Structures are given as structure tokens and as C-alpha cells.
Structure 1
Amino acid sequence: MLLHYLDLSWRSFKRTPLVSFLMVLAIAIGIGVTMTSLSVYHMMSADPIPHKSSQLYNVQLQTMDEGHTWWTGDDIPMQLTYQDAVNLHNAPTPDKKVAMMRTGFSVYLDSDKVKPFTGEARMTTPDFFSMFDVPFIYGGVWSVQQEQSAAPVLVISKELNDKLFAGENSIGKLVYLDDDSYQIVGVIDDWPLNLKYYDLNNGAFDKIADLFLPFSLIKAKELTSWGNSNGWKHENINTYADRLQSEIVWIQFWAQLDTPEQKTAYGDYLTSYIEEQKKRGRFTREKPEYSLRDVNQWMEYNNVVSEDNKILVSLSFMFLAVCLANILGLLLAKFLRRAPEVGVRRALGASKRQVFLQHLVEVAMLGFIGGLLGIVLAQIGLLGVRQSYEYYKNIATMDLAMLLSAPVIAITTCIIAGLYPAWLVCKTNPAIYLKSQ
């Protein structure tokens, strides 16, 4: 019976090609606009590391004196001071933790084949690569001993390796950063991230760094931060050592806590750490405050998906509703024009249910065709987003879920729009049209 209804629907399309085309086009435009905004929203809000997001925690400490406030909802700075980051990293717990900072260098080789350029770098501790599942194609991360000795080593991205060494295995080769040479110990593979969730302070959708170096080089080379640095009180900072011992927050810190028991134990440790620092004249608040947020909580805390994005999705669905209102009018005109034919079918034995289902199959078929065309329009829209906003290039895409959702949304909304016209035409009184014949 379904095949028969599909055949009747196709015959109906061919009898009224202009009206059918207009309805398909309206559906396609509505779906195209909706899926463009919905796909961006979906990729922005998606869990970036689903198998591990509940085990990775961003660490925040309340370092300000009583009476001082921050712009965060809970008044806790989003980053740590250098001294706190170093102290927590040197602590015996947990097993995996990472301190890091964003900076950059002038990059060049001892060759005239590649012009010098500016490259973004991430100063980090070795656990960064295992905690955030960074893939390698050559070599690996530097050793703990190299971290402790501030060895001049680095890990580079595949993109940078292609640019400097034409994609060859570059382990052991030298790269010059500013005035110093560094030996390559690893090359990471393409790292498919929708957003830079491990550093939301410096552009959630920015490109990942091409250079990764030991965190200990910050002090050894007196490196400046290319990220956010914030202070809450006046301090006389005359030397780099003063900056390292200051209350300026500029270091990101993450800890891997695999079980609720580990999280509780680490929370207890942070409380004792704050109490210890209070005895040394820091952290003067009466109640120790810290925060441990997992990946998804950290994304929500940083408003990765802003209200503007949510409003845009709502507006796109409203536009789809307007398109469906136009389709409703066309369906009413088309179905009611077919009333004499339906009256004859009813007189020959067709039930109201059969007539109703036939017309619903027809509008579902309209939705399916419009949904497929809408995917094409959505891809064009997403291409425009990628070209207009470079930092959206990794999220302005449609994954499998969105590709399957487009025809489902189109069919569902078309069926909703077609319920009233189909119900109206199935109530046709056969006697009226038989007399007119």
C-alpha cells in the first residue's frame, strides 16, 4: 500500500510541477537556514573528548583578599599564579596534571629555503599529550628529566613539519626560535578538535599551537605570555622574578581525576594547600575556596555557546515555521482542488483513513525531497561561514547526526503542516461530487 501511495504522490507532483517545486523550494530554504545555524550550534556545544571529559578538571583557586571581586560568576579567577601552578604541579597528587601557558616565537631554520615567520607556542608539562589524547606521527613527548632541566626541545605540529621539512621525519633536527635552537623530539598528527577546550581563556575556536615546549623554559628563558594576564592588586614588579612570585594569574592548570574518590581527595588536598599558603601570608579569606570543573562544566562556565548562538538557532526555526506556513497555504489549495477526485475514490470504497494516509505520504515525500535539497543549501551556508569566520572552520560542518537530522526535521515539519489539509480533504462528502459529475 505504501508503494501505491508513493506512486500516487509522484503522479500528483507531475500534475502540478510548479506548485510542487515551490513547496520543495520553501522546505529546502527553511531547512538550509535551520541546519546551518543548528550545525554550528551542535558542533560548538558537542563534548570535545566524550570518553574522558568527566575525568579532566580545570583547577581554580581563590587567591584574592577579602572584599576583592572578579568578573566570573563565583568571583574565582579563571587562571592560576605561576607560583601556585608550580606548587600544584610539584605536588605528589594526582598522578597526571598539567600547567601551561600561551606564548610565541620567531621561527626559522638554518637555511634560506623557508622565510622566518611568527609561530604560536604552548609551554606545557609532559602530561599534556596523554591527558588530552594528542596523537603523534613521529617521536613523542620530552622526558621528565628534560622538563626538569629546561632542555631546549620541542614538539611540532604536522602542519609545521610539512612546512619546514616537507613532511619528512624531523626527529633530531633543529628549529630556531628567536635567538636559540631547539631539537625536535616529536611531531603530532592532525588533531581534530572542534574547540580548544583546554585553553578557553585565549580563544575557544582559535587554531591550536604549532609549537609545544617544556613549561620549565618559562623561567629559564624569561618568556612573556601571549595570553590573558590579570592582577587584582597593585604590586611592584621590577624583575622577571618579581612577576613569577606575584599574584598575577596567567597559567592554566588541569588535573586528571579518574574516580569520584580521587576528586574528593584532591579537593581535600587543595583545601590543605590553601591553609598552608594562608600561614605564609597569602589567601587571607576566612573560608578556603577552590573550584574543580570537568570539561563540559568548564565550557558552560566560559559561555562557549553564547546566548547569541542560542537566539540564532531559535530565529532559524522561526524562519522554518514561516516557510511551513506558506507550504500550508499551498497544500490547502492543492488538496481542496483535488476534492472531486477524492469524492470519486470515496464512492468507490476508499476509507477516510486511506485518503488521509495517502496525503500524509505525499507531504512526507515533499519533506524528504526538500530535506535533501536543504542539506545542499546548508553546505553552501556552512561554506560561507567558514570563509567569513576563519575561527569557525572546524565547527562549521555537518556531522552524520546533522546529515540524518535534516530530512527527519523536514519530513516531520511537513507532516505537521499537512495534517490539517489532509484531514480537511478526507472529510469530502462523495455524494456532492457524484451529483456534480
Structure 2
Amino acid sequence: MFLHYLDLSWRSFKRTPLVSFLMVLAIAIGIGVTMTSLSVYHMMSADPIPQKSSQLYSVQLQIMDEGSTWWTKDNLPMQLTYQDAVNLNKAEAGGKRVTMVRTGFSVYLDSDTVKPFIGQARLTTPDFFDMFNLSFLYGGVWSQQQEATAAPVVVISKKLNDKLFAGENSVGKIIYLDDASYEVVGVMDDWNITTKYYDLNNGAFNKTEQLYLPFSLLKARELENWGNTNGWKHEKTNTFNDKLNSELVWLQFWVELKTPAEKQAYEDFLMAYMQEQQKRGRFNREKLEAKLRDVNEWMEYNNVVSEDNEILVGLSFMFLAVCLANILGLLLAKFLRRAPEVGVRRALGASKRQIFFQHIVEVAMLGFLGGIFGVILAQVGLLGVRQSYSYYQSLATMDLTMLLSAPVIAISTCVIAGLYPAWLVCKTNPAIYLKSQ
């Protein structure tokens, strides 16, 4: 019977092609707009590392003296000072630990085939790659010995390796960063993440870095920080060493804790560390405070998905509702125009339930067609977003969930819009139309 209803629906479309086209177009436009905003929202709010997001924690310390405040909602700085980041990384507490900061260099080869360019870089400790599930095409991460001696080594991204060495195995080759040479020890595979969750202070949707170097090079070569630097009191930082010993916050620190017991133990360690630092004249406040936030908590804390994004999704659904309101009027006109036909069918024995189901199938078919064309319009909309906002390159896309959701949303909303017209037409009194035939 369902196939018969599909056939009747198709015949109905062919009898009224203009009205059917207008309804499909209205649905497609509504779905296109809705799925464009919903897809971006979905990618923004997606868990960037679902395999271990509940095991990776960003560390915050309340470093300010009593009476000083910060701009965050809980008065906690979002980054750490150099001395705290180094101390926590050296401590034998917690699991894998990562201290890092953003920087950059002019990149070039001892060759005239590649023009010099600016490359984004990250100074980090060796656990970075394992903690964040990164894989290598060639080579691997530098050793702890190379970290300790500030060896001039670098891990480069696949994209950079393609640009500099045409995709060949470049391990052991030399590249130049500013005025110094560095040996390539590893080439990372593509790192496809939509949100740069490990450093939200410097752009949640910026691209990941192309260069990764030992964190110890920061002090050894007095490298510049390309990220945010904030302070809570006036300090003279005339030299690089002054900056390292200051209370300025400018580094990110993450720790991997696999169980609740490990998390509790690390929280206890942080409080003990702050109490020790307090004895040395720092953290002059009555109540010491430290905070661990996992990946998703960190993203929520940093408002990765802002209220504006949620409002935009709500407005797109309201636009879809307007489209459906127009479809409702067209469906009423179309279905009631077929009342004589329905009256004859009722007189020949068709039940109200059969009439109702026939029209619901027709409405669902409209929704399906509108959903398919809506996906095409959504792709056009997402292309426009990518062209207009370069930092949305990885966000303005539709994954499998969104591709399947589009026709489901279209069919569901169309069925809801078609309930009243279908119910109204199935109440047709067959006697009236039999007398007129």
C-alpha cells in the first residue's frame, strides 16, 4: 500500500507541477539556510578528541595577591607563568604533561627553489604528540635528551613538508628558521581538528602550527612569544630573564589524568605546590585555588560556541518555520481542491485513516525532495562561509551526521505542517460530492 501511495503522490506532483515546485523550493531554501548555520554550530561544539577528551586537563592557578581580580567569570587566569609551567612540568606528579607556547619564524631553505615565508610554530615538550594523538609520516618526536639540551631540532607538518621537500622523507634535512638552522627529526601526518582546543587563548579556530620545536629553546635562544601575554600587577621586564621570572601569564599547561583518583591526587599536588610557593612570598591570598578542566569543560569555559552562534541557529529554524507556514497554505489549497476525488474514494470504501496516510506520504515525499535540494543549497552556503571567513575553513562543512539530518528534519517538519491539511481533507463528506457528480 505504501508503494501505491508513493505512486499517487508522484501523479499528484505531475498534475500540479508549479505548486509542487514552489513547495519543494520553499522547503529547500529553509533547509539550506538551517543546515548552513546548524552545520557550523555542530562542528564548533563537536568534541575535538573524543577518544580521550575526559582525560586531558588544562591547568589554572590563582596566582594573584589578595584584592587583585581577573576578567574571567571565576577570577582565574587562563594561562600560567613561565616559572609555574616549568615547575609543574618537572614535578613527578600526574601522567603525561605538556608545557607550550605559540611562536613563529621566517622559514627558508639553502636553495632558491622556495621563497622565504612566515611559519606558525609551537614550542612544546615531547609528550605533546602522544597526548594529543598525533601520528608521524616520517621520523618522530625529539628525545628527552634533546629537550634538556635545547637541541636545534624540529618536527614539521605534512603540508610544510610537501611545500619544502615535495613530500619526500625529510628526516635529517636542514631548514632555516630566522637566522638559525634546525634539523628535521619528524614529519607529522595531517592533524584534522576543527577547534584548536589546546590553545584557545590564541584563536579557537585558527589553523594548527606548521613547526614544533623543543620548549627548552625558548630560554636558550630567547625566542619571542606570539601568543597572548597578560599580567595582574605592574612589573619591570626590561630583559628576557625578567619576563621568565615575572608574574606574567603566557604559557599553556596540560596534564593527562586517566582516572578520577589520578585527578584528585593531582588536585592535591597543585594545592601543595601553591602552599609551598606561598611560603616563598607568592600567592599572597587567604584562599588558594587551582582548577582542572577537561577538553569539553575548557571549551565551554572559553565560550567557544558563543551565544551569538546559538541565536543564529535559532533564527535559522524560525526562517524554516516561516517557509513551512507558506507550505501549509499551499497544502490546504491543494488538498481541498481534491475534495471531490477524496469523496468518491470514501464512497468506494476508503477509510479516513487511508486517506490521511495517503496525504501524509505525499507531504513526506515533498519533504524528502526539499531536503535533498536543501543539502545542495547548504553546500553553496557553506562554500560562501569558507570564502568569506578563512578561519572557518574546517568548520564550514557537513559531516555524515548533518548530511543525514537534513532530509530527516525536512521530512519531519513537512509532516508536522501537513497534519492539519491531511486531517481536514479526510473529513470530507462523500455524500456532497456524489450528488454533484
Q: TM-score range by the shorter chain?
A: over 0.9
Is residue 154 of structure 1 aligned with residue 154 of structure 2? yes
Residue identity in the other structure for 1:139: G
State how far apart, in whole Å, the 2-side matches of 1:361 and 1:112 are. 67
Structure 1: which 4+ aligned runs deviate by more than 3 Å? Answer: none
State how far apart, in whole Å, the 2-side matches of 1:29 and 1:368 are. 13
Residue 239 of structure 1: CA displacement? 1.3
Residue identity in the other structure for 2:100: M
Counterpart in the other structure of 1:142:
142
1:39-97 CA distance string (max 9 Å, x none): 00000000000110000000000001111111111000000000000000000011300
Residue 297 of structure 1: CA displacement? 0.2
Counterpart in the other structure of 1:173:
173
What are the ranges of 5 or more consecutive residues in structure 1 without an aligned counterpart?
none
State how far apart, in whole Å, the 2-side matches of 1:335 and 1:114 are. 68
State how far apart, in whole Å, the 1-side matches of 2:237 and 2:210 are. 31
State how far apart, in whole Å, the 2-side matches of 1:258 and 1:63 are. 26
Identity of aligned residues (%): 78
Residue 237 of structure 1: CA displacement? 1.5
State how far apart, in whole Å, the 2-side matches of 1:105 and 1:42 are. 34
State how far apart, in whole Å, the 1-side matches of 2:118 and 2:194 are. 24
Is residue 267 of structure 1 aligned with residue 267 of structure 2? yes
Residue identity in the other structure for 1:280: R
Is residue 436 of structure 1 aligned with residue 436 of structure 2? yes
Task: Specify the SS of the correspondent of 2:320.
Answer: helix
Counterpart in the other structure of 2:346:
346
Residue identity in the other structure for 2:25: L
Residue 287 of structure 1: CA displacement? 1.3
Counterpart in the other structure of 2:49:
49
Task: Specify the SS of the correspondent of 2:333.
Answer: helix
Task: Specify the SS of the correspondent of 2:85.
Answer: helix
Number of aligned positions between the proteins: 437
Is residue 326 of structure 1 aligned with residue 329 of structure 2? no
Alignment of 1:395-410 (within 5 A): 395-410=395-410
State how far apart, in whole Å, the 2-side matches of 1:2 and 1:104 are. 63
Residue identity in the other structure for 1:408: V
Task: Specify the SS of the correspondent of 1:171.
Answer: coil
State how far apart, in whole Å, the 1-side matches of 2:283 and 2:74 are. 16
Counterpart in the other structure of 2:129:
129
TM-score, normalising length: structure 2:
1.00
Counterpart in the other structure of 1:288:
288
Task: Specify the SS of the correspondent of 2:342.
Answer: helix
Alignment of 1:288-327 (within 5 A): 288-327=288-327
Residue 236 of structure 1: CA displacement? 1.6
Task: Specify the SS of the correspondent of 1:422.
Answer: helix
Residue identity in the other structure for 1:242: D
Task: Specify the SS of the correspondent of 1:299.
Answer: helix
CA RMSD of aligned residues (A): 0.5
Counterpart in the other structure of 2:92:
92
1:316-349 CA distance string (max 9 Å, x none): 0000000000000000000000000000000000
Alignment of 1:21-420 (within 5 A): 21-420=21-420
Residue 135 of structure 1: CA displacement? 1.5
State how far apart, in whole Å, the 2-side matches of 1:431 and 1:374 are. 42
State how far apart, in whole Å, the 1-side matches of 2:178 and 2:37 are. 42
Task: Specify the SS of the correspondent of 1:133.
Answer: coil
State how far apart, in whole Å, the 1-side matches of 2:228 and 2:237 are. 17
Residue 299 of structure 1: CA displacement? 0.2
Residue 247 of structure 1: CA displacement? 0.1
Task: Specify the SS of the correspondent of 1:9.
Answer: helix
State how far apart, in whole Å, the 2-side matches of 1:224 and 1:180 are. 14
State how far apart, in whole Å, the 2-side matches of 1:115 and 1:2 are. 65
Residue identity in the other structure for 1:307: E
State how far apart, in whole Å, the 1-side matches of 2:249 and 2:224 are. 13
1:254-308 CA distance string (max 9 Å, x none): 0000000000000000000000000000011111101100000000000000111
Deviates more, 1:91-100 or 1:322-331: 91-100
State how far apart, in whole Å, the 2-side matches of 1:240 and 1:341 are. 87
Task: Specify the SS of the correspondent of 1:137.
Answer: strand
Task: Specify the SS of the correspondent of 1:250.
Answer: coil
State how far apart, in whole Å, the 2-side matches of 1:236 and 1:104 are. 25
Task: Specify the SS of the correspondent of 1:374.
Answer: helix
TM-score, normalising length: structure 1:
1.00
Residue identity in the other structure for 2:131: M
State how far apart, in whole Å, the 1-side matches of 2:94 and 2:142 are. 20
